[in-house]
Structure 1
Amino acid sequence: MESGMEFWTAKALLDWQVEMGCDEAIGDEPVDRYALKDVKPAPKPVQAPSTLASAPPPVATPAPEVDQISAARDAANAAQDLAALRAAMATFEGCALKPVARNLVFSGGIAGAPVMIIADAPDRDDDRAGEMFAGRTGALLDKMLAAIGLGRSGDAPIYAAPVLPWNPPQNRDPDAEEMAMMLPFLQRHITLAAPKILILMGNGPCQALLGRSGMTRLHGSWADVQIGSASLPAIPMFAPSYLLTTPSAKREAWGDLLSLKARLKDLS
């Protein structure tokens, strides 16, 4: 059916209006909005509250951080003998060194001996063997002790414990956090072993028990180590591992051994 206006003409006009922004159609006659009935919109139905209100989702509370130093102190103080202390250290999970080490290296020598060596953390040989001073370091230590009439066994034995019982990765030195975490176990170890003299073999033991490091300055100088209410004489010495790489220090190490021998003579 033909309209009064050509289709394409009408479409062109409509397209022009859309381009100009017209967005709604209007009637042919104007609408008087004031003459319309005032019709209020129907109110929205109000839903009755449910008798069983849904509970808010539970808020996850983060687990409280464990103070590992306090946990170590409690575990160490609870140990009444060396066997219980070893068991407490074996079950302590606070130190990140434990999962990466092969063995717990607890002690060496004879417990109850008057001389107790505190050594650096176990090295790879110690970790592999599960004992202190394994390999070349042990052979040199035996020679050092024999030179002043001591040994790891026999009539005049020593007792030994590492500053912490696990070998750090890549044989690195333990960091300050690891040392502080395991210090309560070391202090309890000394208390239960009840030595009369301590030998601090290496920077780790000096840092842990004296708060100082630098063996070239400290070696051979006697100091007092406070363990609970007891004060023990202690002499810093070069570790056998250091002497193996620095043979020139053996002369000074011999002087330190003689100083130890004289101190033991005074005690007897």
Structure 2
Amino acid sequence: MESGMEYWTAKALLDWQVEMGVDEAIGDDPVDRYALQDVKPAPKAAQAPSTLPSAPPAVATAAPEINQISAANNAANAAQDLAGLRAAMGAFEGCALKAAARNLVFSGGTAGAPVMIIADAPDRDDDRAGELFAGRTGALLDKMLAAIGLGRSGDAPIYAAPVLPWNPPQNRDPNADEMAMMLPFLQRHITLAAPKVLILMGNGPCQALLNKSGMTRLHGGWTDVQIGSASLPAIPMFAPSYLLTKPSAKRDAWSDLLSLKAHLKDLS
């Protein structure tokens, strides 16, 4: 650099070099790097540890998951009557089926009847009507009951409740988690209704209360269902929805109805 160069001119040239990425000053004379002695840099002195240990980084902790089965059990057992149980089921937010359904389908027939039907999950017609056994399935059920002197009302009524109160999307079957979550409500429902005989009408009720499936094998065979300390006689039967799609099974359904009629006669 010329000694007579003005200060501002030199500064402008230096600023331009910085903008161009220059990060090292170059001397006036060239340096032969190959002729330099190979000297390793001295290791850096270890820094003395600080007197106070640094605090560990904060770790975000997830909120504990709610045990929905336990929550359902607590809510169900707190209900002292059927109205309280219905309110508890309506307030329960643990089951995702609730958000997709239109209505809570709680029961059908006459509360306090000696015969209680445990039905599959509500179908689309039940969901629209807000009641159990609506539409074609209800019409067929009424004919089946009338054939042995029963009905949803009248002198010899039945009471009915679904395994869970909401219609699953696309009329699919409830999965195992959904069934397990709502089982405390079903068991409490049976306890409060206090029937003498149960009809397990479909695969869903058999899976929930017997832990068994396969209606072609189970139908018509009397068994016992344990609800708390009580043991109730129960008979699996084909659901009306199944009979509508497979009329050939009506012969077996009639045989099962006659077995139910004979059992009720023995109780009277």
Same fold, judged at TM 0.5 (above): yes
For residues 56 and 152 of structure 1, the distance between their equivalents in structure 2, rounded to whole angstroms, comes to 67
* Counterpart AA for 2:181: M
User: Is structure 2 residue 222 aligned with structure 1 residue 207?
Assistant: no
* Counterpart AA for 2:124: R
User: Is structure 2 residue 172 aligned with structure 1 residue 172?
Assistant: yes
Q: Measure how far apart 1:61 and its partner are.
A: 2.3
Q: Measure how far apart 1:59 and its partner are.
A: 4.3
1:119-170 CA deviation, whole Å, 9 max, x = no partner?
0000000011110000000000000000000000111100000000001111
Q: Measure how far apart 1:22 and its partner are.
A: 3.9
Q: Measure how far apart 1:62 and its partner are.
A: 1.3
Partner of 1:226, secondary structure, is strand
Partner of 1:118, secondary structure, is strand
Q: Measure how far apart 1:105 and its partner are.
A: 0.3
* Counterpart AA for 1:228: G
1:204-248 CA deviation, whole Å, 9 max, x = no partner?
000000010000000000000000000000000000000000000
For residues 257 and 223 of structure 2, the distance between their equivalents in structure 1, rounded to whole angstroms, comes to 15
For residues 246 and 225 of structure 1, the distance between their equivalents in structure 2, rounded to whole angstroms, comes to 28
Describe how 1:175-254 pairs up with structure 2 within 5 A.
Answer: 175-254=175-254
Partner of 2:195, secondary structure, is coil
* Counterpart AA for 1:98: K
For residues 243 and 80 of structure 2, the distance between their equivalents in structure 1, rounded to whole angstroms, comes to 36
Aligned residue-pair number: 228
For residues 231 and 70 of structure 1, the distance between their equivalents in structure 2, rounded to whole angstroms, comes to 23
Q: Measure how far apart 1:172 and its partner are.
A: 0.5
* Counterpart AA for 1:175: N
2:123 aligned partner: 123
2:145 aligned partner: 145
Q: Measure how far apart 1:96 and its partner are.
A: 1.0
* Counterpart AA for 1:162: P
Q: Percent same amino acid at aligned positions? A: 85
Q: Measure how far apart 1:83 and its partner are.
A: 0.5
Deviates more, 1:176-185 or 1:58-67: 58-67
For residues 237 and 23 of structure 1, the distance between their equivalents in structure 2, rounded to whole angstroms, comes to 97
* Counterpart AA for 2:164: L
For residues 265 and 237 of structure 1, the distance between their equivalents in structure 2, rounded to whole angstroms, comes to 18
For residues 167 and 188 of structure 2, the distance between their equivalents in structure 1, rounded to whole angstroms, comes to 20
1:174-233 CA deviation, whole Å, 9 max, x = no partner?
000000000000000000000000000000000000010000000000000000000000
Partner of 1:221, secondary structure, is coil
User: Is structure 2 residue 93 aligned with structure 1 residue 83?
Assistant: no
For residues 85 and 100 of structure 1, the distance between their equivalents in structure 2, rounded to whole angstroms, comes to 21
Unaligned runs of 5+ in 1: 1-13, 27-48
Partner of 2:116, secondary structure, is strand
Partner of 2:248, secondary structure, is helix
Aligned CA distance change for structure 1 residues 145 and 22 (closer, same or farther; 3 Å): farther
For residues 232 and 32 of structure 2, the distance between their equivalents in structure 1, rounded to whole angstroms, comes to 99
Aligned CA distance change for structure 1 residues 23 and 183 (closer, same or farther; 3 Å): same
Q: Measure how far apart 1:23 and its partner are.
A: 5.7
Partner of 1:241, secondary structure, is helix
For residues 266 and 101 of structure 1, the distance between their equivalents in structure 2, rounded to whole angstroms, comes to 41
Partner of 2:137, secondary structure, is helix
Q: TM-score, normalised by structure 1?
A: 0.80
Describe how 1:106-121 pairs up with structure 2 within 5 A.
Answer: 106-121=106-121
* Counterpart AA for 1:215: M
RMSD (Å) for aligned C-alpha atoms = 2.4
* Counterpart AA for 1:66: I
Aligned CA distance change for structure 1 residues 57 and 135 (closer, same or farther; 3 Å): same
Partner of 1:151, secondary structure, is coil
